[in-house]
Amino acid sequence: MVVEKFYFKENYGNILEQAIFIRKSEEHMRSIVQGIILGSIIVLPGMSGGTVFVIFGIYENILKDLVRLNIKPYIPLILGAIVGIFISGTLFALFFEEFRDETAIFLMGCLLASTRAVLKGNKKTNLKSILFLLLGATIGFYMSGEPIGLTMVDEDVSLALLIVGGAISSAAMIIPGIPGSSALIVLGIYDSILYYIKELELFNLAMFGMGSALGIALLAKLLNKMYEKYRNIISYFFAGLILGSARALIPYYFKSSLIVIFIIGFSLVWIWSGKEEQQSVGLREH
């Protein structure tokens, strides 16, 4: 009888351990898949990582944990995101090389449509907001430089710019509706990052990754507080940056098929932004 009880307890303990292991494995696998989706999406200009967090239902938890620098629960998500970024980045780099104008006009549609999400909830349009919109557009126009294209990437970006670009894009990405990759277009290094991903230039990618980590650790909380306090003018300024930086995605040659591609890219992000608005309303109500 004693032997049977001991066997039952031991067997029950093993079953419980196996159940816990299976549950953790499933959670890790789900996080990895979510990370791959996140990484694939944030490569697109106009797509916000914060929006993805809201849709996945993890935005509040991840923001609290990032403030406390508690990243251990998100290691599977981060690994998945790295895989997604490499897959999506490599594909877009190849498209840029073979179909530069088609890819650029698609990304321009994505970029311009993201202004819907950036300006969501900002019903006050006054002289100050218009001035910040124009200021952002002017800065974005001059900072983005000449139209980008992977075939033109023949010089190294400074390490300081890589670190700053990583910091700004990752910190901005945390805010729902704000597209982090758009910051790279404003800084004129979006095509360079795609090139580094395609060519696996690990040193440059490591510097960009270091900047991204610093941005999340040091700037995300500050930027989120500033955004909550000065939401209206920051949103209009950011929208202006997006409008001005679209210069970098102007096609070299115009043809009728580009209009269709532009509409596809624009519609994709416009619909996505609408979904983000619904999720944000649900989050505020909760």
For residue 153, what pLDDT is reported? 53
Number of domains in the chain: 1
Q: Which string of DSSP letters, residue by residue, matches 44-101?
A: STT--HHHHHHHHT-HHHHHHHHHTT--GGGHHHHHHHHHHHHHHHHHHHHHHHHSHH
CA-to-CA distance for 251 and 95, rounded, in angstroms? 14
Identity at 10, one-letter amino acid code: E
The DSSP symbol for 248 reads: G
pLDDT in tens, 172-231: 777 766 777 878 888 888 888 888 888 888 999 999 999 988 888 777 677 767 777 787
Which domain range does residue 105 map to? Answer: 2-285
DSSP, collapsed to helix, strand or coil, labels residue 102 as: helix
For residue 2, what pLDDT is reported? 47
Q: What is the mean pLDDT of residues 90-96?
A: 85
For residue 284, what pLDDT is reported? 46
